């Protein structure tokens, strides 16, 4: 059954993508090179339509019984239409935000929202009405986070597959068939598209794909982590550490440089890695590796004790901070942890040579 689902969605995505390439060229939904972008030739957009159609085919074929399925499909359709319009005519940020809001509200109005947060020491925080705005903010934030990392061939698709795979494993361990099926359908559909999207890409997913994947990951994470008894919200946050941290530091960077937070720039994680010498493909694979590291940490966290969870979280924070400083994600002068390590090394060396000199005089 699992292999059949995977094969049908994967095959559907592969067969649809060449048609989408022709459609994108026909309606001039093409991404042209400019100073802010990495690619050097005009490339068709709308690739996310292949992922969406693979997803819809999978859902309609296997028709999982769950009362949330139609609100999710309606929200996904709204977000895909928003992305398609943006790929064709480049919507202003506020109109993209309107589309994201409608998609989020369609899911929330269907009854899917965060009702409580599990805290350490078996404490539950009942959110009540606060769960609705929190769910809305979560959906919009994750949708935009995936959208922002879509800057290199295969990057957003690969990171999304890694995140979805981790969610799928966690849901299988928890015995949640519905979440497992949703993630499997999305993974297979995205893999079929990635066949055409990995470097050198024949088609980009565009906002059609990045908004759709971000929306689906946000919704599935809400569905999947209601039953986890420890660090409920921390688990999906860690899973999405790469896109979320890139988005957060992009906002910080723009505030530091006194720019609008919606102003695009060429200082995202993938841009910074390429600036320090990594190739296009090497940058993508390195970010895949980072995403896989955070995914493993998130899976370990779901089974860890409080102290184990604290240690894992600390390691993650240190990893993110060192990455930010090494690649210059805020700016080249922001290096507090690296400066501390450097100073510690100098003190250690001076103490070592001082001891050596004392030993020499004794002799």
pLDDT single digits (tens) 135-193: 999 999 999 989 888 888 889 999 999 999 999 888 888 788 888 889 999 999 999 99
Name the pairing type of β-strands 30-31 and 123-126: unpaired
Neighbours of 317 (CB within 10 A): 11
Q: Tell me the C-alpha to C-alpha distance, in Å, between residue 293 and each of 148, 176, 212, 217, 304.
A: 20, 24, 24, 18, 16
Q: Please indicate if the annotation marks 339 as binding a ligand.
A: no
Percent of the chain with pLDDT over 70: 87
Residue 266 DSSP SS3: coil
Greater model confidence, 176 or 352? 176
Determine contact, residues 22/64, Cβ cutoff 8 Å.
no
Q: What's the pLDDT band for 203 if we cut at 50, 70, 90?
A: very high
Greater model confidence, 281 or 349? 281
pLDDT one-digit tens code per residue, 32-58: 776 556 666 788 999 999 999 999 999
Closest residue by Cα to residue 327 from 279, 259, 271: 271
User: DSSP characters for 150-210?
Assistant: TTSTTHHHHHHHHHHHHHHHHHHHHT-HHHHHHHHHHHHHHHHHHHHHSSSPSS--HHHHH
Predicted pLDDT at 209: 93
Neighbours of 45 (CB within 10 A): 27
Q: Please indicate if the annotation marks 87 as binding a ligand.
A: no
Is the pLDDT at 115 greater than 70, yes or no? yes
Predicted pLDDT at 359: 53
Determine contact, residues 232/117, Cβ cutoff 8 Å.
yes
Q: Which residues contact 338 (CB under 8 A, 6 or more apart)?
A: 322, 325, 326
Predicted pLDDT at 140: 94
Neighbouring C-alpha atoms within 13 Å toward the C-beta of 4: 4
Which neighbouring-strand residues pair with 119? 123
Predicted pLDDT at 237: 84
pLDDT one-digit tens code per residue, 216-272: 999 998 887 654 444 456 778 888 888 888 888 888 887 877 777 767 767 778 878
Tokens of 321: 């901070």
Is the pLDDT at 59 greater than 60, yes or no? yes
State mean pLDDT over 113-128.
72
Predicted pLDDT at 231: 46
Predicted pLDDT at 37: 61
Predicted pLDDT at 205: 92
Is the pLDDT at 353 greater than 80, yes or no? no
Greater model confidence, 336 or 58? 58
Q: Tell me the C-alpha to C-alpha distance, in Å, between residue 295 and each of 95, 214, 305, 354.
A: 33, 16, 18, 45
Predicted pLDDT at 240: 86
Is the pLDDT at 214 greater than 90, yes or no? yes
Among 130-139, 262-271, 342-351, the range scoring the smallest mean pLDDT is 342-351
Predicted pLDDT at 212: 96
Is the pLDDT at 322 greater than 60, yes or no? yes
Predicted pLDDT at 175: 81
pTM for the complete prediction?
A: 0.87
């Amino acid at each position: 059954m699992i292999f059949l689902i995977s094969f049908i969605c994967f095959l559907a995505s592969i067969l649809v993508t060449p048609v989408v390439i022709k459609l994108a060229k026909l309606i001039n939904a093409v991404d042209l090179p400019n100073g802010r972008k990495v690619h050097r030739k005009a490339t068709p957009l709308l690739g996310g339509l292949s992922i969406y159609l693979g997803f819809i085919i999978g859902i309609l074929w296997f028709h999982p019984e769950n009362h949330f399925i139609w609100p999710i499909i309606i929200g996904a359709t709204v977000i895909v239409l928003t992305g398609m319009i943006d790929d064709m005519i480049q919507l202003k940020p506020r109109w993209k935000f309107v589309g994201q809001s409608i998609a989020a509200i369609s899911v929330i109005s269907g009854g899917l929202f965060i009702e409580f947060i599990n805290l350490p020491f078996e404490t539950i925080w009942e959110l009540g009405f606060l769960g609705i705005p929190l769910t809305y903010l979560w959906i919009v934030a994750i949708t935009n986070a995936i959208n922002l990392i879509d800057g290199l061939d295969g990057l957003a698709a690969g990171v999304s597959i890694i995140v979805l795979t981790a969610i799928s494993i966690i849901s299988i361990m928890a015995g949640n068939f519905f979440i497992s099926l949703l993630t499997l359908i999305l993974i297979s559909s995205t893999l079929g598209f990635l066949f055409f999207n990995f470097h050198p890409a024949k088609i980009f997913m565009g906002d059609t794909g990045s908004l759709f994947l971000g929306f689906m990951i946000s919704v599935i994470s809400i569905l999947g982590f209601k039953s986890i008894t420890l660090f409920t919200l921390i688990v999906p946050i860690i899973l999405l550490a790469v896109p979320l941290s890139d988005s957060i530091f992009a906002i910080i960077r723009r505030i530091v440089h006194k720019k609008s937070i919606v102003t695009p720039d060429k200082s995202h994680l993938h841009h910074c890695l390429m600036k320090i010498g990594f190739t296009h493909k090497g940058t993508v694979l390195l970010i895949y590796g980072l995403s896989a590291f955070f995914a493993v940490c998130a899976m370990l966290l779901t089974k860890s004790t409080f102290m184990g969870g604290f240690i894992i979280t600390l390691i993650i924070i240190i990893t993110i901070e060192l990455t930010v400083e090494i690649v210059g994600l805020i700016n080249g002068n922001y290096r507090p942890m690296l400066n501390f390590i450097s100073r510690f090394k100098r003190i250690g060396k001076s103490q070592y040579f001082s001891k050596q000199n004392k030993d020499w005089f004794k002799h």
